Amino acid sequence: MQEKGTGNPAPRHGNRSFPGFAGQCRTWDQLRERGGSQNSRSGIRVQHRPQHRLPSPLHRFCRSGSNHAPYAQRVSELPSIPPGSNVLGVGIDQIEVSRIRDSLDKHGAHFLDKIFTSGEQAYCRDKADPVPHLAARFAAKEAASKAFGTGFGEEFGWLDSEVHNDDQGQPILRFSEKGTALLNEKGASGALVSLTHLESIASSIVVLVSSS
């Protein structure tokens, strides 16, 4: 398939094309190639600003009489906590999808490999537009670090948690050996995760629980 008037093959992902950045359509490999070696040598920082100072697209779903009000309620729901469990920590995070797009556009594969596991990349790569799904997983990692109370550093890193989806599509938070050791240190038996995204924003909540 060729783009009309260019003579160049139209970028595709499998049997589907998906919107890239700056109005272009790029394949997953092209997303990973963004930034090149010059940017890969510099540190990657995704800027966080207090969300209460930013206009939120969720506001339009919360108007009285809106048909989307039930969806807005689901956005803020906590994961279902098993009976008899004790809550040991809660973390929440929200990020603008455009920030992940910008980081991918500047740093490509270096950003992906620093933040997301191969399993997370494979899951998102199969979506028509991978970026909102990447943003939701970015938020889940941030929420996990807040639930642990560690932030990101030697104790807990970006690749020490992974959002995995089971056969029913339910997200499950899995941990590396270091993350599991931290979970045990906190006295938790597991971590529950809930994540959601709109076109422009992604959110996640993580709850650390113990079975006794």
CB-CB contact of 201 with 95 (8 Å): yes
Q: Give 172-177 contacts, CB < 8 A, sequence gap 24+.
A: 173/140, 173/144, 173/206
DSSP string, 107-130: HTHHHHHHHS-HHHHHHHHTSSSH
Extract the tokens encoding 6.
């260019």
- pTM for this entry: 0.65
The residues with which 206 forms a beta bridge, in sequence order, are 91, 193
- Residue 107 CB-density burial (10 A; 0-12 exposed, 13-18 middle, 19+ buried): buried
Kindly give the confidence (pLDDT) of every residue in the chain, 212 residues in length, as a single tens digit, with 9 standing for 90 and above.
444 444 444 444 444 433 433 445 567 777 777 655 444 444 555 554 444 444 443 333 333 333 433 433 343 455 666 676 789 999 999 999 999 999 999 999 999 999 999 999 999 999 999 999 999 999 999 999 999 999 999 999 999 999 999 998 899 999 999 999 999 999 999 999 999 999 899 999 999 999 86
- Residue 181 CB-density burial (10 A; 0-12 exposed, 13-18 middle, 19+ buried): middle
Q: Which of 191, 196, 194, 183 is nearest to 207 (CA)?
A: 191
| Coil vs helix vs strand at 30 | helix
pLDDT recorded at residue 211: 81
Side-chain half-sphere exposure of 40, counting CA atoms within 13 A: 12
Which structural domains are found in the chain, ordered by start?
Answer: 57-210 (3.90.470.20)
